[in-house]
Structure 1
Amino acid sequence: MEKTNLVKVLLISLSSFMILVSGCNNKKEEGRSNKDSPSPMSYIENKQSPSHEAKAIVLSMPEITDAKAVNSEDQIFLAVKPKHLERFQLTSLKKKTKKKIEKKYPKMEVNVSTDQKIFTLLGELESKLDKKMDSKDIERELKKIQKKSTDEA
């Protein structure tokens, strides 16, 4: 009876050891494959650096919890999520945010929105940028978003 218990313990420990070792090998292989393939972010960084910087500026503000931003050649679209108590002062928050971004990019037209609909649309557009969208496609999508931001719900 002791031999069967010993065999069970040995089998369980051996199988758990094998699972542990195989899990470590997969992580090493994934790490190597990531180093070999080029990063898709390099395309986005070159074209979308103004929107990334604008997002960083806005996220440094204590009133903002989250932000989405996309830019074209001459426009920056920015959607922000304010903290709960800041919702009472949305117009002043928009002005303050817009002023900060315009100070950094004086030659670009800055559009700031606190609308949840625009926030989601810009988030979807940000995720589409991974597919190497053409600047004309980005411009077209931003025009659609701008039209929806001026529509009254």
Structure 2
Amino acid sequence: MKNWLKGLNISLFLIAIIGLYTGCAGNQNQFADNTDNANIVKVHTSKPIDQTVANKAKEKVIKGEEISGVKAVNTDKELFLALKIDQFDRFRLKNIEKKVKTDLEKTYPDHKILVSTDSKMYLELGQLEVKLQKDNTKMKTLKKEFNRIKSLMKEKT
């Protein structure tokens, strides 16, 4: 009887190990470099609202391995980026935000750079990008929306 219980315990232990191994082995590609599948939507608008600074900033920032998505909008003197950060890297949000901001300040010294890792800012800038893409937005409206998003950002802090 003792040998039978001992054999049963060993069998259950092996089944548990195999189950854990197959569960963990199935998620191997979860932490793979995701810059291949990161979508950058370049905003092309009419001449009054030029978004080339925002598009170039997106291309530069998305190369970071901890960043999975970027939304950006610029006015004449300001550039606002919202970053989507991978789950594991969310422990280092402030460091990532600071690094991106300093890199962009070196690249675009004539723009005031605002960087946020908040998901609400990411969604708001995404909606603003869609409005700009439709070419219905004027510079005055863009600045108004930009200031509204900035006030939302200040509310958070």
Structure 1 and Structure 2 fold alike (TM over 0.5): yes
RMSD: 2.0
Q: Distance in 2 between matches of 1:130 and 1:152?
A: 27
Q: Which runs of 5+ in 2 are unaligned?
A: 1-42
C-alpha distance in 1 between matches for 2:90 and 2:111: 27
Q: What per-residue deviation string (whole Å, max 9, x for no partner) do you get for residues 67-91 of structure 1?
A: 0000000000100011111100111
Deviation string for 1:114-144 (max 9, x for gaps)?
0010000000000000232111111110000
Larger Rg: 1
Tell me the residue number matched to 1:93: 96
Letter in 1 for 2:141: D
1:114 pairs with 117, 126, 137, which one?
A: 117
How far residue 152 of structure 1 moved from its aligned partner, in angstroms, is 2.7
Question: Secondary structure at 1:47's aligned position in 2?
Answer: coil
Residue 43 of structure 1, CA deviation: 2.2
**1:128 matched to 2:126:** no
Equivalent residue, structure 2, for 1:36: none
Change (3 A) 1:96 1:44: farther
Selected match of 2:108 from 105, 110, 116: 105
More helix as a share of residues? 1
How many Å separate the matches in 2 of 1:100 and 1:119?
20
Q: Does 1:68 align with 2:71?
A: yes
- Aligned-pair distance for 1:102? 0.9
- The number of residues matched between the two structures is 114
Contact preservation (8 Å) 2:121, 2:149: yes
SS at match of 2:146: helix
Instruction: Work out whether 1:151 is the aligned partner of 2:143.
Output: no
- After TM superposition, give the deviation of residue 42 of structure 1 in Å: 5.5
The one-letter code sitting in structure 2 at the alignment partner of 1:51 is: A
Q: Report the TM-score when normalising by structure 2.
A: 0.68
TM-score (norm 1): 0.70
Moved more, 77-86 or 120-129: 77-86
Asked whether the equivalents of residues 69 and 78 of structure 1 are also in contact (C-alpha less than 8 Å), the reply is yes
Equivalent position amino acid for 1:131 in 2? K
